[in-house]
Amino acid sequence: MSTKITLIGAGSVVFAKNLIGDILQFPELSDSTICLMDIDPQRLKVAKIMAEKMVATLKVNATVQATLNQREAVRGAKYVICTVQVGGYKPGTVIDFEIPKKYGLKQTIADTLGVGGIFRALRTIPVINKIAEDIADVGAPGCLLLNYTNPMAMNCWAVDKGVGIPHVGLCHSVQGTSRMLADFAGLCYEDVNYVVAGINHMAFFLRFEYKGQDAYPLLFNLLDDPHFHAEKVRMEMMRRTGYFVTESSEHQSEYVPYFIHHGDQIIKQFDIPIDEYLRRCESIIATWKETEADLLGRDGTISVNSQSNEYGSFIIHSSETDVPRVIYGNVPNRNLITNLPEGACVEVPCLVNRNGIQPTHIGDLPPQLAAICRSNINVQELTVEAALTKKREHIYHAVMLDPHAATVLTLDKIWAMCDELIAAHQKLGFLGEFTPVVKDTGRAYAGTADRVIVRTRMKKSTSTKPGFILNEVTINNPLKKELSLSIRLRAEQNRVKADRGATLKVKVPAGKTVKQDIEVPFPFNREENFTLLVETDCENVLAIDSYVIIHKKTLKNAEGVVPFDLKLNGFDAVRGTIGEKGKNIELNLKVEDSKVTPNLVTPWLGSCLEFFFADPDNARVNQFFILPQPKGKKGLVLKRNLEEWKGADVGQNVQPTGYTIKITLPREALGIPAKGEFLFDTIAHLTALGDAHSGGRAALNGSFNSSEHTEHYSVVDLS
């Protein structure tokens, strides 16, 4: 019974011709059934006629089939060879180049990594995984997928993670580069041996030997040869990393951040051909009619080339005949390269015989090579995750971590470019739907932007009804539909929940925020801290309780002043004291702000201190701001309306690590009693905290709504 070998993407007829010729020139495979499949009827027709003429020319007993039905093509196949290009040159590849170009991103080949590689993968992975699923369902037992489609590593990783059938990714960069290096070094190729490992298009010649001796000195001598100008990018990378990489300089220049984005001078210096893949495709298209005529045979016959160095036919032959061979394959990393992520797609030497593909354990790559590979693997992993989970956020993440795109584009441009690319591909049917994200973020919409947020805030500790407190509930509904919600509030003190509560039933229009007052029973001690709990049965609600601190007592110390301090993220931010000086209040403050930047228009956006004083009896809040000024000037005091407080006596000292402020203000102006207790709170705004921390806001009593109510204020007793 003949072996069925299926080519999916047979419309890539030039490549298909070479593969079919390679296979049929093995006598043991000459009676195979060659099944051709493509979605383009005309291309498929050309491929079938070409294959039949090859069978006749080679005088073999092979059978040629052709079908537009992928599942039928795979049915009973022992080997499936994939050479598809989803989206084609036009419009798929053109979109991958033209939209990024609008954002200032230059590319050369764009089929493996970078923005072009990412979107080619997003188009291709659903297609190649459907092929893999068909193989699992109707292929012959143990059917092997031989993938030639780029981006190789992402496609193979997705097949392994998404379906899990036997597969290998095949590329000709190892064969081609090894011959090229032998030529560069002036060596006979038959006397050269090598070991290569890494990831596809970024695997490295760990050993390059001539008759068992290290031949790398011959390559390094070329670095100083004024007459040698080939492969400038790859030679430069060898100079810096110590090893030669497998894929061309055109590819390599867009896998690392050292070349293209540095401008036209570097592009010219290293002979980097921008938009090279577009040029190649246009050239092929321009000569297609002539190529088609050659493929079909101008005089009725067809030429068949001698066997190429492509691995596909050798793998099939070794698997069928048990003739052992070593090929370089792209396979899942199962303890093969030990300092690259497990499960990633790696390129390593593989033994092939009747037992199939058997990858070689490499161990650790040199650390610098592993690090460069990981920079590409990060992008591959996120792209595969996006394709398999349909999570849109991972598309942005993949481009965000791409070594080339990250050197050229800001994050907002990356997001905008991805949005435009997604829309363009979806419009043409090349991409399915992805789960939405919060606009301009890398966070899924579900669970974040669709959450109904309910907040509660105490307005007064006493209500018109004895035994109740007055509370305000805010409900934000981001959904595109009206929401009916039942909310229950009840007090909790010292971990004891009140038996009674209050229920609020409210309708919130789509996309709107509603505020409503409610009186809540309060059976506890009003002089102690408590919590207002928000309870609802709705799963999509983020309910935020209100934590209320009732008059936290601050006692004076032995020197007759009351100390206080504020912490920002656990670090000391402000240390201060409140003292009495006749009819005045004196504040002494040390602020740890190492980047003093006051803002006169909106003080709370720069370096400043906010202070709040109130009379315990009427709780009317008096607010003012202190803004540090440049050296040699007095600190500035602003009233609540941001007018300067002319009569304030302020001294300051600005130092590299922060500033100190001393201010004296009349009790009467602060609205507090001439003697006795008063209520106090403060908020600090720091631009930078110390030498390594960003700034932020810190509140003495934990609330940034100090101007609205006084229940949480500290009580200052200077009597």
Average pLDDT over residues 524-544: 89
Q: Give me the pLDDT at residue 516, please.
A: 94
pLDDT tens, 151-164? 999 999 999 999 99
Kindly state the tokens that stand for 357: 């593909």
Residues 326, 331, 332, 338: what is their CA dihedral angle, to the nearest 10 degrees? 50
DSSP 274: T
Count H helices and E strands in the chain, helices first. Answer: 19, 33
Going along the chain from its start, the domains and CATH numbers come out as: 4-171+283-300 (3.40.50.720), 173-275 (no CATH), 368-427 (no CATH), 452-548 (2.60.40.10), 552-716 (2.60.40.1190)
pLDDT digits over 652-688, tens only?
999 889 999 999 999 999 999 988 889 999 999 999 9
Q: What is the pLDDT confidence band of residue 553, given thresholds at 50, 70 and 90? A: low
Confidence of residue 555 (pLDDT cuts 50, 70, 90): low
CB-CB neighbours of 280 under 10 Å: 14
Share of the chain above pLDDT 70, in %: 98
On the question of pLDDT at 1 being above 70, the answer is no
Taking alpha carbons only, the member of 465, 453, 469 closest to residue 512 is 453
The bridge status of strand 608-614 relative to strand 584-591 is: unpaired
Tokens for 702?
Answer: 């934990």
- Distance of alpha carbon 34 from alpha carbon 57, whole angstroms: 15
Q: Average pLDDT for residues 448-456, to the nearest whole number?
A: 95
Contact present, 695 and 595 (Cβ < 8 Å): yes
Helix (H) or strand (E) holding 433: none
Phi, psi of 9 (to 5 degrees): 95, 30
DSSP 603-656: GGGSSEEEEEEE-TTT--EEEEEEE--STTS--EEEETTS-B-TT-EEEEEEET
Six token digits for residue 507: 């309708």
For residues 452 and 717, which has the higher predicted lDDT (pLDDT)? Answer: 452
164: left (phi over 0), alpha (psi -120 to 50) or beta: left
| H helix runs in 25-170, sequence order | 41-58, 70-74, 94-102, 114-138, 152-162
Beta strand pairing call for 33-37 and 4-8 = parallel
Q: Is the peptide bond before 151 cis (omega within 30 degrees of 0)?
A: yes
Q: Under a CB-based contact definition with an 8 Å cutoff, are residues 392 and 422 in contact?
A: yes
d(CA 578, CA 560): 9
Structure tokens at 479: 């959904």
The per-residue pLDDT for range 304-318, each reduced to its tens digit, is 999 999 999 999 999
How, if at all, do strands 468-476 and 452-460 pair?
Answer: antiparallel
Phi, psi (rounded to 5 degrees) for 507:
-110, 130
Q: State the catalytic residue, choosing from 167, 172, 317, 712.
A: 172
Assess whether pLDDT exceeds 90 at residue 188: yes
- φ/ψ (deg, to 5) at 234: -65, -35
| Lowest model confidence (mean pLDDT) among 89-103, 114-128, 398-412, 651-665 | 651-665
What is the percent of the chain where pLDDT is above 90? Answer: 80
**Dist. CA 109–CA 107, nearest whole Å:** 6
Q: What is the pLDDT of residue 546?
A: 87
pLDDT range class, residue 289, cuts 50, 70, 90: confident
CA 54 vs CA 1, 24, 95, 243: distances in Å: 21, 9, 36, 42
**Per-residue confidence (pLDDT) for residue 556, from 0 to 100:** 67
Place of tokens 């039949």: 52
405-440 pLDDT per residue, tens: 999 999 999 999 999 999 999 999 999 999 999 999
What pLDDT was estimated at residue 518? 93
What pLDDT is stored for residue 694 in this prediction?
84
Regarding predicted confidence, which is higher, 73 or 553? 73
Check residue 698 and give its pLDDT. Answer: 92
Please list the residues that pair with 358 across neighbouring strands: 351
pLDDT of residue 283: 93
| Residues sharing a CB contact under 8 Å with residue 237, sequence separation 6 or more, in sequence order | 244, 245, 252, 256
Q: Is the pLDDT of residue 558 over 70?
A: no
Q: Is the pLDDT of residue 552 over 70?
A: no
**pLDDT confidence band for 576 (50 / 70 / 90):** very high
> pLDDT at position 226, please?
95
Which residues on neighbouring strands pair with residue 609, listed in sequence order? 626, 684
- Pairing verdict, β 483-493 and 468-476: unpaired
The mean predicted confidence, pLDDT, of the chain is 93
Residue 646 pLDDT greater than 90, yes or no: no
pLDDT at 676: 82
User: Contact at 8 Å (CB) between 97 and 67?
Assistant: no
Distance, first Cα to last Cα, the chain: 106
Q: How confident is the model at residue 47 (pLDDT cuts 50, 70, 90)?
A: very high
At residue 458, the pLDDT reads 84
| Comparison of pLDDT for 704 and 48, the residue scoring more | 48
What whole-number distance in Å separates Cα of residue 552 and Cα of residue 562? Answer: 13
pLDDT, residue 557, reads 66
Whole-number pLDDT of residue 708: 64
Q: What does the block give as tokens for 244?
A: 């030669």
Site of tokens 């101007």:
707
pLDDT tens column, 324-380:
999 999 999 999 999 999 999 999 999 999 999 999 999 999 999 999 999 999 999
Q: How many CB atoms lie within 10 A of CB 14?
A: 13
Does residue 186 register a pLDDT over 70?
yes
Whether 547 shows a pLDDT value over 90: the answer reads no
For residue 707, name the pLDDT band (cuts at 50, 70, 90): low
**What number is the average pLDDT over the span 393-413?**
98
Tell me how crowded residue 623 is: count the other CB atoms within 10 A of its CB: 17
- In sequence order, which residues have a C-beta less than 8 Å from that of residue 461 and are 6 or more positions away? 469, 526, 548, 550, 711
3-state SS assignment for residue 674:
coil
Q: What share of the chain is helix, strand, coil (3-state, %, to 5)?
A: 30, 30, 40
How far apart CA 323 and CA 434 sit, in angstroms, is 46
The pLDDT, as a whole number, for residue 593 is 93
Is 394 catalytic? The answer is: no
pLDDT the model gives residue 529: 85
Q: Of 590, 594, 593, 567, which is closest to residue 577 (Cα–Cα)?
A: 590
Distance CA 73, CA 6 (A): 6
> Distances in Å between the alpha carbon of 322 and those of 312, 319, 358?
15, 6, 13
pLDDT at site 487? 95
Q: What mean pLDDT comes out for the span 438-452?
A: 95
Nearest to 132 by CA among 82, 67, 72: 82
In sequence order, which ranges of 287-429 are alpha helices (DSSP H)?
288-296, 311-321, 367-389, 393-400, 405-408, 411-427
Of 290-299, 434-443, 474-483, 570-579, the least confident: 290-299
